[in-house]
Chains A and B, each alone.
Chain A
């Protein structure tokens, strides 16, 4: 055999050039899409600066329009996280450390199912079932702890309150927080855990001494990702909440602040002209806020990964 080894004149073969070029273009597409989101929302949102009260549901300027919505968004998300975080950490601990090996996988799968349920179904369940169920609870809260501004009432008779919305959001954020926490719990070095157990620690002491310190930043970023989900969630809030666009900390009355996402969903189908631009401007604000939250969360994760290496 005397085949020569110099058939290819170029160092890169044509097939390789085309293929690697295609993959690079795909990657660039993603960067462009993300940039596109920011650019198009800005382009279509900017005209809203000139919008008058008739297009802004009575608000004087776009800032005065977004303010209460942003407040509602943050309030609903805060309620959601207050409820979801301890639960999610507990659930993650059950799956990673407390449940017997054999069942822990199926338990994890059950929690993942929570994430698979479409948000509109959560909305349906929240308005059709959970809300009415909570009415007696709200009445009880008003009567017994009504001196707290959160429960000043008057209690809503439909259960369509920001607290209900927060609970639904908590259920939706829980699987995300759980998924990431349990991955990190499971990654805790076995050596640390065995070292703690060898010192005579109980299971809880082992978790506190070995697992939590290792997972702290992971939990923080998991909670922030859950926050990202809660901030941007639309349908569940749009359906569950009876919103009047006010700013209040009263969690159980029928006058509630709205959220950015829910407001867009409710108003967009009927909006025209500058009204559309105003809604897009609120969407831009939501995008920036969630982007910042996710960015921070991912940066924490990335830093931790580097630190552990």
Chain B
């Protein structure tokens, strides 16, 4: 059920400010693509433009093309809400809904859209999603407890369970481990590894070891200069990026000689 994404000549603006310029790439299906680069280079902005989340910020707009499964994401008749149902997202800080229990959090995607579910079907979705997020064993006895009572790492896995419960095609992850301790991070990385057989995953990360560990392909973003828009410098197989990148600036960044 996973799909690949084709991006061509994508420019992203905040008001008059051009944040990301001229990105073209193909994100392969059923694999993990990592986006790396220095802070403020537009990788998160780019990620959010893949499911039209950046529109939440007033004044944000794009031009260019994002095509998934033969459909243009930014065509005028496309409903951003439908786009987000197909392309799920996990955020930097775990954000379970504080008013809901663990069970309700997993079902939030369907419940919030007033989708009627039989008790039996709902239970099935909850168990399947929590198992998918490697959280089932830890929480199966306290599904009615608030989601906010879990540890940070558990909360983040709950958020992943919530995202996969609506069965999206693609899963976008915006620095999902940056607020977590190393043990939780490793749990999430294992989970990403398991999920890629079913989903197309795009992950933004600051941690280059993490990019190297989890991804098949890596895209390096950089700023052309201070105050200039971010752009895609290089996209290649992860192995190649980390051993023998095409661009000197990629190598400089990866080896820590950032300039």
Contact = CB atoms under 8 A, between A and B. Distances in A.
A8 B83 CA distance: 11
B81 A13 contact: yes
Interface in B37-60: none
Interface residues of A, number: 11
B81 A8 contact: yes
A1 B169 CA distance: 8
Nearest to A2: B69
Nearest to A1: B1
A9 B79 CA distance: 7
A5 B82 contact: yes
Contacts of A1: 1, 167, 169
B1 A13 contact: no
A4 B3 CA distance: 13
B1 to A, nearest CB: 5
B79 A6 contact: yes
Interface stretch (B17-25, B70-78, B133-141): B70-78
B31 to A, nearest CB: 18
Interface string B164-175: 000101000000
Interface string A1-33: 111111111010100000000000000000000
Contact of A8 (B1, B68, B79): B79
B86 A13 contact: no
Nearest to B76: A11
A5 B76 contact: no
B8 to A, nearest CB: 18
Contacts of B85: 3, 5
A-B pairs with lowest CB-CB distance, top 4: A8-B79, A1-B1, A5-B82, A5-B86
10 contacts: A2-B69, A5-B68, A6-B71, A7-B79, A8-B79, A9-B77, A11-B76, A11-B77, A11-B79, A13-B81
Interface of A: 1-9, 11, 13
